[in-house]
Chains A and B, each alone.
Chain A
Amino acid sequence: MLAEKKRLNRLGNQLFFTGPTMIAFTIALLIPFVYGFYLTLMKMATPVSPPAFSGFENYRAAFSDSQFWDSLWLTVKYTGATIVFVNAIGFALAYLVTMGIRSQNFFRTALFTPNLIGGLVLGYIWQFIFVQSLPAVGENLGIELLRLGWLGDEHLAFWALVIVTIWQSAGYMMIIFIAGLISVPKDIIEASTIDGANAWQRLTKMTLPLMVPSFVVTVFLTLKNAFIVYDINFSLTEGGPYNSTLMISMHIVQKAFMETNYGVGQSEAIILFAIVAIVTGVQVYFSKKMEVEA
Chain B
Amino acid sequence: MKKTFVSILIALLTVALAACGGSKSNDAAESSAAPSHSASASASASPSSSPEQDKVEIIMTNGKGEIASQWEQAAKDFMAANPNITVKAYSQAVGDTLSILDKLTASGETVTIAMMGPDQLLNKHKDFGIDLSNEKWNGDTSYGIRDESGKVVGFPFAIEGFGLVYNKKVVEKAVGGSFDPFSINTRDKLKELLDKMKASGVQYPVAYQTEAWSVSNHYSTQFLNQAADPNTVIAQLKEGKLDLASNAVWNGYYDTMDLLASKEYNKYGERPLGKYYDDAHLSVGKGESAILFNGNWAFDSLKAVAGDSFGFIPVPVDNNPDNPLNNKIQAGPTQSLVINNKATPAQQEAAKKFLNWIVYDQAGQDFLVNKSQIISAFKNNPNKVTNPLGAAIADAIAQDKTLPFTNNYIYGDDWFKLIGPEVQKYIVKKVSRADLAKFIQDYYTSKK
Taking Cβ atoms with an 8 Å cutoff, the residues of A that contact B are: 16, 20, 46-48, 127-128, 130-132, 148-153, 237-238, 240-243, 253-254, 257-260
Contacts and interface: CB of A to CB of B under 8 A. Distances in A.
Contact of A238 (B275, B413, B430): B275
Question: How big is the B interface, by class?
Answer: 20 to 34
B413 A152 contact: no
B124 A46 contact: yes
Max chain B C-beta neighbours (<10 A), residue from A48, A238, A259: A48
A258 B413 CA distance: 7
A259 B124 CA distance: 10
B105 A48 contact: yes
B274 A131 contact: yes
A151 B106 contact: no
Interface of B: 6, 13, 97-98, 102, 105-106, 124-125, 128, 212, 268, 270-276, 278-279, 413, 416-417, 420-422, 424-425, 428, 430
A134 B102 CA distance: 41
Contacts of A16: 6
Contacts of A47: 102, 105-106
Given A240-B212, A242-B430, A148 B275 contact: no
Contact of B271 (A128, A153, A254, A258): A153
Contact of B425 (A149, A153, A242, A258): A242
Contact of A149 (B128, B274, B416, B417): B274
Contacts of B425: 242
Contacts of B417: 254, 258-259
Contacts of B124: 46, 260
Contacts of A130: 275
Contacts of A132: 279
Contact of B275 (A151, A257, A259, A260): A151
A238 B277 CA distance: 13
Q: Which of B105, B271, B274, B279 has the most CB of A within 10 A?
A: B274
B428 A257 contact: no
B424 A257 contact: no
B274 A152 contact: yes
Given A131-B274, A260-B124, A241 B102 contact: no
A98 B422 CA distance: 51
A225 B428 CA distance: 32
A131 B279 contact: yes
A258 B275 CA distance: 21
A48 B420 CA distance: 28
